[in-house]
């Protein structure tokens, strides 16, 4: 896989306030990177610096091997960008708008219609290409926004909240489109919708208070070894009784399911040894599984300092 974005020690100050603090990361072909953070964490400032619309206080950004600060026009030619509010001209038809955007990208005149037709087909806009953009649904307008971002075949695509305001069917369609684009491009997906990242991204990064505080492969994050376990008991066992057993280092009660008591515990024992121990106590164990934190739990743990962080291994 070729390296498409390389960011080193990126920092941005607004007066005395540090919005982005010395972050570094990379993006390669085939990556769909979920870029997450709470409001005010520094996401927007980072995206603006990556797209060349905001100068960093310090740091380096390389787009497809080209230094963004030294050769901004050449570097930006390798970028496709969909901001949260797509810059659509409502009184143009879809085709007119995309031809206009292609000209801005300096696409060869002989290739204009071919390039636009390709973007229209890839984004599922064929049936509406002659309609005015203002008459399209929100879902189709988002598709037009993505089409303008990819029509010059940029190696890197940055999407900021691409499914905001869409209905469930439109969300599924846009997600599938992003996954398809991710096969041949490098994509950065900036969103607040955590299940969306878990569904379509292969990597995730979390920024908090200007610092990059978490970076992981999605599969590694969801399937890492854990010292936390979740189990259900048919007998009425009080947490204090479990606390008297050295096999458990921490104990939390979960929401009962089907009248059974549910516990989330940590232990220094292996899963097999711990399960054998619980069975030996004759508490009526009906379910036992390693506790795997979701991306949402990981995000909350990292950005709030919740104890869930100990379960996620961060």
145 Rama sector, left if φ>0, alpha if ψ -120 to 50, beta otherwise: alpha
Whether the pLDDT of residue 309 is over 50: the answer is: no
Mean pLDDT over residues 1-26, rounded? 94
pLDDT grade, residue 312 (50/70/90)? very low
Query: What's 28's domain CATH number?
Result: 3.40.50.300
Distance of alpha carbon 185 from the chain centroid: 15
If asked whether residues 71 and 89 sit together in one domain, one would say: no
Quick check: is 103 in a domain?
yes
Same domain, yes or no: 63 and 206: yes
196 in the same domain as 211: yes
* Domain encompassing residue 276: 227-291
- Asked if 136 and 282 sit in the same domain, the reply is no
Are residue 250 and residue 260 in the same domain, yes or no? yes
Q: Is residue 91 part of a domain?
A: yes
- Give pLDDT tens digits for 73-100: 999 999 999 988 888 999 999 999 999 9
In the predicted structure, residue 232 carries a pLDDT above the cut 60 = yes
Cα angle 63, 67, 71 (rounded to 5 degrees) comes to 110
Report phi then psi at 233, rounded to 5: -125, 135
Indicate if 240 and 260 belong to the same structural domain.
Answer: yes
**pLDDT of 307 above 50:** no
| Alpha-carbon span 271 to 193, nearest angstrom | 33
Same domain, 10 and 64: yes
Compute the 3-state secondary structure of the chain and give helix, strand, coil in percent, each to the nearest 5.
35, 30, 35
48 and 186 inside one domain: yes
For 291-309, what is the mean pLDDT? 67
CA distances from 231 to 245, 246, 253, 267 (A): 15, 17, 10, 13
Q: Which residue has the tokens 């997450």?
A: 36
Check if the beta carbon of residue 170 is closer than 8 Å to that of residue 142: yes
Measure the CA–CA gap between 31 and 1, rounded to whole angstroms.
9
**Prediction pTM value:** 0.76
Cα gap 74→11, rounded to integer Å: 22
CATH number at residue 252: 3.30.70.3100
The residue-averaged pLDDT of 180-196 equals 89
Report phi then psi at 133, rounded to 5: -60, -35
- Give residue 235's region: left, alpha or beta (phi > 0; psi -120 to 50): beta
Please state, rounded to an integer, the average pLDDT across all residues of the chain. 88
Q: What total of structural domains would you count in the chain?
A: 3
Q: What is the pLDDT of residue 141?
A: 93
Compute the average pLDDT of residues 109-136. Answer: 93
Question: Do residue 53 and residue 167 come from a single domain?
Answer: yes
pLDDT at residue 221 is higher than 80: no
Which percentage of the chain shows pLDDT scores above 70? Answer: 93
Same domain, 66 and 4: yes
Other CB atoms closer than 10 Å to residue 298's CB: what's the count?
A: 26
N residues, the chain: 314
pLDDT at 49 over 70: yes
Tracing tokens 């469930």 back to the chain, one arrives at 168
Which three-class secondary structure state does DSSP give residue 96? helix
Residue 222 pLDDT grade (very low, low, confident, very high; cuts 50, 70, 90): low
* Residue whose C-alpha is closest to residue 86's, from 36, 127, 138: 138
């Amino acid at each position: 896989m070729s390296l498409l974005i390389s960011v080193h020690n990126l920092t941005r100050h607004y007066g005395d306030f540090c919005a982005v603090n010395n972050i570094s990361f990379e993006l390669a072909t085939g990556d769909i990177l979920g870029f997450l953070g709470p409001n005010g964490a520094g996401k927007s400032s980072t995206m603006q610096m990556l797209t060349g619309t905001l100068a960093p206080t310090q740091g380096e950004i390389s787009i497809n091997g080209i230094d963004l600060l030294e050769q901004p026009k050449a570097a930006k030619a390798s970028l496709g960008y969909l901001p949260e509010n797509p810059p659509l001209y409502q009184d143009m038809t879809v085709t007119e708008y995309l031809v206009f955007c292609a000209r801005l990208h300096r696409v060869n005149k002989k290739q204009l219609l071919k390039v636009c037709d390709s973007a229209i087909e890839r984004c599922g806009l064929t049936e509406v290409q002659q309609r005015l953009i203002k008459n399209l649904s929100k879902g189709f307008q988002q598709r037009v926004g993505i089409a303008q971002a990819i029509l010059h075949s940029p190696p890197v695509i940055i999407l900021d909240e691409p499914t905001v305001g869409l209905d469930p069917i439109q969300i599924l369609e846009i997600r599938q489109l992003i996954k398809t684009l991710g096969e041949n491009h490098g994509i950065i997906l900036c969103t607040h919708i955590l299940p969306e990242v878990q569904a379509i991204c292969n990597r995730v990064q979390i920024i908090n208070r200007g610092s990059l505080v978490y970076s992981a492969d999605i599969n590694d994050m969801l399937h890492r070894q854990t010292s936390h376990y979740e189990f259900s008991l048919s007998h009425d066992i009080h947490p204090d009784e479990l606390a008297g057993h050295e096999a458990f280092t921490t104990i939390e009660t979960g929401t009962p399911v089907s009248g059974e008591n549910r516990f989330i515990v940590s232990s220094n024992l292996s899963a097999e040894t711990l399960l054998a121990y619980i069975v030996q106590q004759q508490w009526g164990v009906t379910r036992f599984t390693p506790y795997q934190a979701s991306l949402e739990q990981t995000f909350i743990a990292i950005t709030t300092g919740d104890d869930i962080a100990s379960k996620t291994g961060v």
